[in-house]
Amino acid sequence: MPDAELIQFALNQKTLPETPFLAFLDLAADLGCVGVEARIDLGRPLFDGLPAAEAGDRIRERGLRLVGISEVFPFKDWTEERRALTKSLLRSASEAGAETISLIPRVDGKGPSMFGSPARHQDIVSQILSMTDDHDISLLIEPIGFPGSSIRFHSEVADCISQLDASDRVGILHDTFQHSLSGDGEILVEHLRHVHISGLPDGRGPLTEADDAKRVLIDENDRTGAARQISHLITKGYRGPFSFEATARDARYRENPHTSISASMAFLRDFSK
């Protein structure tokens, strides 16, 4: 059985999208998280407009790590706008001391992403890698389980990493919901650098793309198998952060997030004993 104490929790801003950045940091520290993930898709400036270097100071003075910033999406549509966004994000990540930035594939099966073309995303990841030469930052590619996603499986990311000989600079961002949705039979722990965790309440039938907006904290009612995935990852040697990324807009846990997130942490630690 895995050692429950090996579970290192982090907190993704998507879980508490309306909480001011500094209050979000205070909550993560109070919960005993190892770090936080900042986002650029909350409808307000990154770090609530704090200069990146100052944001990094505020994170570290609370004993936290900035484990990642999300996201470049869709990274395979490598337009001038996307290039500029990536460059800006890398600069902010470097100034704030972020460990990673995440790259998210196109999910609708359309557009210039050249759906199904491994050479395309290898070329783009190579270009982004060249932009990281002055920054100590890793790139994380997240397989998305939606049927129209251009990268759905761990093996696709692993092939890209192998072709680029970039295992020290590129990793997999594993999402427990997306993995369950894709039906991927492989979890390539050797390439995992970060894990997003969430659950779905009781329900019947197969998971669907629509369920992505319903994700909540994990408890005994979860039907995605997230707790089993977490236990498996610990058993197989994963030692990175498990970051709460719950996306439900009307989530009741936000009324008392400290109590609710603490309860989910306790459930997952107990499950992994």
Domain CATH for 13: 3.20.20.150
pLDDT at residue 119 in the model: 76
Q: How far is CA 118 from CA 145, 146, 182, in A?
A: 17, 17, 18
pLDDT at residue 229 in the model: 97
Query: In this structure, are residues 207 and 224 in contact, taking their beta carbons and an 8 Å threshold?
Result: yes
Long-range Cβ contact pairs of 159-168 (< 8 A, separation 24 or more): 159/118, 160/118, 160/121, 160/122, 160/125, 161/191, 163/118, 163/122, 164/122, 164/125, 164/126, 164/129, 166/125, 166/129, 167/191
Measured CA to CA, the distance from residue 197 to residue 8 in angstroms comes to 12
How many separate domains does the chain show?
1
Low-confidence ranges of the chain (pLDDT < 50): 111-115
pLDDT at residue 4 in the model: 61
pLDDT at residue 117 in the model: 66
- Full domain range(s) for residue 178: 4-271
pLDDT at residue 114 in the model: 41
